[in-house]
Amino acid sequence: MLRITSTTGSASTTENSQANALQVAFDGSRGPFTVSTRIVGPLPLTGPSQHIGIYVGPHENAFMKLEVEHRNGQCSLVLYREGPGDGAALRPGIRGLGACANLQSVELNLRGDPAAGAFTVTYRVNGGASTAAFNAEANTVGDPQAFFSRNARAGVIIASQRPNATSPAPPIFTATFDRFAVTAG
């Protein structure tokens, strides 16, 4: 098990104050790969802009992340991409998952395919069926070669991000991961 406690900060947009992300390097050029994790709960998300997830990308200004985020009073699955200095949830990149306290486990899978130049997403809630979610072309994040390189990067990420500069910081929380992997296929 890996437990990470959040701090205020985020890699999103131009903020680039992310403090709670761990990454590994891998060869993403030889064939399809899957970045996956399992988050165990109940999920501790209680305030706006708190999130837990996985990401792929060469640096803080070019990445794609799949996360569970506290949004509108519930947990939502969000597929987010960031290009040079901007960022946005991909459309249709948000799916409600229900009350965070009811989520005992969430599995996230972000599959990259260098030949197709694209990522696909699956997820599983509380040990249920694996569900296909959003599709996104790799070029929505800039240079696809950076994502499918021999020196690709992927990891886990948590954040307590301020919704805007004048907002109070969301509560600090601890996320628990019982698995993280980058695998072929």
pLDDT digits (tens, 9 = 90+) for 10-31: 555 556 656 667 789 999 999 9
Provide the number of structural domains found in the chain: 1
Cα distances (angstroms) measured from residue 42 to each of 12, 109, 175: 25, 19, 10
> Which CATH number fits the domain that encloses residue 149?
2.60.120.200
Q: Find the mean pLDDT for residues 151-167.
A: 82
- Residue 40, C-beta contacts closer than 8 angstroms, at least 6 positions apart: 1, 104, 105, 176, 177, 178
- What would the pLDDT profile of 32-77 be if each residue is shown by its tens digit? 999 999 999 999 999 888 889 999 988 777 788 899 999 889 999 9
Domain of 154 in residue numbering reads as 2-184
Measure the CA–CA gap between 58 and 153, rounded to whole angstroms.
6
Query: In whole numbers, what is the pLDDT of the chain averaged over residues?
Result: 83
